[in-house]
Amino acid sequence: MVRFELVSKVYPGGQKAVDDLNLEARKGEFVCLIGPSGCGKTTTMKMINRLHEPTSGRIYVNGRDIMQMNPVTLRRQIGYVIQQIGLMPHMTIAENVALVPRLLGWDRARQEKRVNELLPLVGLDPATYRDRYPSELSGGQQQRVGIARAMAAMPELILMDEPFSALDPITRETLQDEMKRLQHKYKLTVVFVTHDMDEALKLGDTIVVMRSGKIVQAASPDELLRNPKDDFVAQFVGRDRTRDVSLLKVADVMIRPVTIGPEHGLAEALVLMKKRRVSSLMVVDEDDRLLGFVTPRMIEKVRRGRVADVMRPDIITASPETPLQEAFERMFLAHLDYLPAVDEEGRLVGLITSTTMVDALSQALWSDEGESE
């Protein structure tokens, strides 16, 4: 699908951003480019759609040399999602999604149909969102629109430049899951730039670790973890995924909680608990501020009414920056099965449970055993 052959990029002044790079992203593959700042990962990705042009070497997309293609035509065949999202503020959501199809000459009916197909795929109801403007959406919702726009002209190839890095942890995890689902369902080829090793390990079929414009190692997540090529790769993988439990924080192991609003009915709360297989729900307001929690036992005593009528507001919490050992002690002393993580404004950003705590501890112990062999 995408092939680099001895590609270099030298900027004015002699700075070499990419150095004789050979790389292939096969059709339907999710390739993550990762490395320290200035390693050349973003430049590499931007050369694919000629936002940067190679100084030497050849880049092929579907067997065609991109330098023999009109750059505008090339870009309209490739989806592109960036961290800043880049929605047109004066256009509605529908108009933003249909932008490339319109430039490609699709008729109005075909554009409308495509918008109505895509918005549900990224979790947005067309009737609710198609006529809104970007300023009326949250950052996560805007990024969903950005993904829909990238898929609008049905490209086989999508480029993504740190698209989720500015989002809160819960929204980021949700969009990661949805992007991987869409990539798998539609057999998309994705080249994804990230600085987050956890994100690369979760999304990538192949992870390409770069340094100083060169590829140090390109491997599957499992191979990268088991057999790092050298100390640089081992340290880079370990830097964001330390197995030393004494250094872990709540943010390193927290999961996405199941939430409900206080206005919802008790029957609805029970159905949600059964569907998600959880024994409690975190109650949040419309701004995701934590209000309390509700369990089946609380509901059983009342049976009818709203979540607000039975929820308990006296809930112990932690900050995402709380050391994991401190959080564990807090849970142990209070006999808690879980501990919500809230930010400085009281918004719920994650949850740690006794299960995630055990997983973190066992991972640390497993790592120690491996190092002693």
| Full pLDDT tens readout for the chain, 373 residues | 999 999 999 998 888 999 999 999 999 999 999 999 999 999 999 999 999 999 999 999 999 999 999 999 999 999 999 887 789 999 999 999 999 999 999 999 999 999 999 999 999 999 999 999 999 999 999 999 999 999 999 999 999 999 998 888 888 888 898 899 999 999 999 999 999 888 998 899 999 999 999 999 999 988 888 789 998 998 888 754 544 556 678 888 889 999 999 999 999 999 999 988 888 999 999 999 999 999 999 998 777 899 999 999 999 999 999 988 889 888 888 888 899 999 999 999 999 988 777 766 655 544 444 433 3
pLDDT tens-digit series, residues 166-190: 888 888 888 898 899 999 999 999 9
Compute the distance between CA of residue 153 and CA of residue 305 in angstroms, rounded to an integer. Answer: 47
Joined together, the tokens standing for residue 105 give 């000459």
- The CATH classification number of 2-242 equals 3.40.50.300
- Write the Ramachandran bin of 351: left for phi over 0, alpha for psi from -120 to 50, otherwise beta: beta
Fold (topology level) of 250-360: CBS-domain (3.10.580)
Compute the distance between CA of residue 71 and CA of residue 152 in angstroms, rounded to an integer. Answer: 19
Neighbour order of strands in the sheet with 78-82: 78-82, 157-161, 189-193, 30-34, 206-211, 214-219
| CA 323-329-333 angle, 5° bins | 150
Residue listed under structure tokens 């990962």: 41
Q: Kindly give, in sequence order, each residue whose CB lies less than 8 Å from that of residue 84, ignoring residues fewer than 6 positions away.
A: none
Compute the distance between CA of residue 27 and CA of residue 190 in angstroms, rounded to an integer. Answer: 9
Q: What's the pLDDT at 200?
A: 92
For the chain, the distance separating the N- and C-terminal CA atoms, rounded to the nearest angstrom, is 42
Residues 16/9, Cβ–Cβ less than 8 Å: yes
Domain segments of the chain: what residues?
2-242, 250-360
